Homo-oligomer: A and B are copies of this chain.
Amino acid sequence: MEAAAKFLYQQRMSLSVVIGLSAVIVAIRDGEAVVLTVRPHDAATDRVSPLAGLPFGPFEPEGHRTFELALREFVSSQTGFELGYVEQLYTFGDRGRDAPRAEVGAGAARVVSVCYLALTPAATEALAPDTVWAPWSRFFPWEDWRKGRPDLIDEGIAPALMAWAGRDAERIARARLAFALDGAPWNEERVLERYELLYEAGLAPEAARDEKRADGRDPPEPAAISAALGEPMISDHRRILATGLGRLRGKLKYRPVVFELMPAEFTLSALQKTVEAIAGIPLHKQNFRRVVERTGLVEGLGRMDADTGGRPAELFRFRREVLTARPAPGLSLPGRG
């Protein structure tokens, strides 16, 4: 036991730190953006969690050479799904996060979550039980502007936020900007900002689980909490999901990531539908086509897709080769020489 004690001492900095991995796995199904969710089994009650969560698992320093390998392994064993495109999202380490039991064990360990974003064209594989593809509008109903501004914003969110803001000009400005109130433009990328605003205002059920608020401001009133403002998730998974959605929406504009969500062959309408589902806004048909064609990222196959309901559409494929021959589309500073 001498050795164990010495080891404990040497490792004191790491005591009660657990590294967890989570994944926001996105796909398109029936023209809807969906995310892979799990309902973890709670050993204490022998029941499945009433709340959905993202796939998550421990990172074992002994067994795993990299985060990404560990992620691929536990996702496939936990959900039955094989990941394709993967990128790191963010690492969450704040105290006060409601840590899931399965990750933590009995102690009061600090959980640090290294989160990843994954994209995949197939949302149809056989999945493990309690694993489902859920449209993300279930968790963020205010994010879908494809059919115009959701009524929820003006009827539910705005009044609640204004009640919370009171006369605080800074709060009012934040709410205005985040939710496009009072003529402000909608910015589809600010998903996290919107979620955090709702959380702070006590409008997310997750906030009520945190008894002691970190910032010492007024604690949320249970009465103000409405499940109509999106379905809550386990722990801080909704925050992670918001981070992933925001990142993906931003990335769409400067990297050809949409194609990671498409099958090998697709029509331009399907591509547009996909972008719309991710970005949550309607796009202009001709201009979208022009943009896509000008990038040179797709190639017409000459063949047609019959069952579209109307006139058959030409099939296209992603020219993955161009990525190795030419820098991906990006922006520009006003360069000189």
Closest chain B CB from A217 CB (angstroms): 16
**Is A177 close to B, CB under 8 A?**
yes
Closest chain B CB from A16 CB (angstroms): 6
Chain B residues whose CB sits within 8 angstroms of the CB of A16 once the complex forms: 11, 14, 61-62
Chain B residues whose CB sits within 8 angstroms of the CB of A91 once the complex forms: 67, 88, 91, 114
Report yes or no: A65 in contact with B96, Cβ–Cβ below 8 A: yes
Report yes or no: B337 in contact with A282, Cβ–Cβ below 8 A: yes
Chain B residue nearest in CB terms to A291: B334
Among the stretches A1-9, A38-46, A158-166, the one at the interface with B is: A1-9
Known contacts A10-B106, A148-B337, A281-B333, A94 near B114 by CB under 8 Å: no
Closest chain B CB from A167 CB (angstroms): 16
Per the bound structure, the CA–CA distance linking A1 and B6 in Å amounts to 11
How extensive is the interface on chain A, given as a class?
Answer: 35 or more
**Is A60 close to B, CB under 8 A?**
yes
Q: Indicate which residue in B17, B325, B337 contacts A61 across the interface (CB closer than 8 Å).
A: B17
Chain B residues whose CB sits within 8 angstroms of the CB of A275 once the complex forms: 333
Contact with B along A59-91 (1 / 0, CB 8 A): 111101111000000000000000000001011
Per the bound structure, the CA–CA distance linking A13 and B60 in Å amounts to 6
Per the bound structure, the CA–CA distance linking A327 and B193 in Å amounts to 12
Chain B residue nearest in CB terms to A180: B327
Known contacts A18-B13, A96-B65, A324 near B281 by CB under 8 Å: no
Chain B residues whose CB sits within 8 angstroms of the CB of A105 once the complex forms: 10-11, 13
Chain B residues whose CB sits within 8 angstroms of the CB of A4 once the complex forms: 1, 4-5, 8
Report yes or no: B170 in contact with A334, Cβ–Cβ below 8 A: no
Chain B residue nearest in CB terms to A108: B61
**Is A128 close to B, CB under 8 A?**
no
Per the bound structure, the CA–CA distance linking A337 and B60 in Å amounts to 49
Contact with B along A279-318 (1 / 0, CB 8 A): 1011110011001000000000000000000000000000
Give residues 253-288 of A contacting B (CB, 8 Å).
253-254, 275, 279, 281-284, 287-288
Closest chain B CB from A327 CB (angstroms): 5
**Is A189 close to B, CB under 8 A?**
yes
Chain B residues whose CB sits within 8 angstroms of the CB of A94 once the complex forms: 65-67
Per the bound structure, the CA–CA distance linking A64 and B214 in Å amounts to 13
Chain B residue nearest in CB terms to A185: B327
Report yes or no: A110 in contact with B282, Cβ–Cβ below 8 A: no
Closest chain B CB from A137 CB (angstroms): 18
Per the bound structure, the CA–CA distance linking A59 and B91 in Å amounts to 13
Give residues 123-149 of A contacting B (CB, 8 Å).
148
Per the bound structure, the CA–CA distance linking A13 and B96 in Å amounts to 20
Known contacts A10-B105, A11-B107, A17-B61, A173 near B333 by CB under 8 Å: no
Could you show 16 A-B contacts with beta carbons less than 8 Å apart?
A: A4-B4, A19-B93, A61-B109, A65-B95, A65-B96, A67-B93, A91-B91, A174-B324, A177-B325, A184-B326, A189-B330, A190-B327, A253-B333, A282-B335, A284-B335, A284-B336
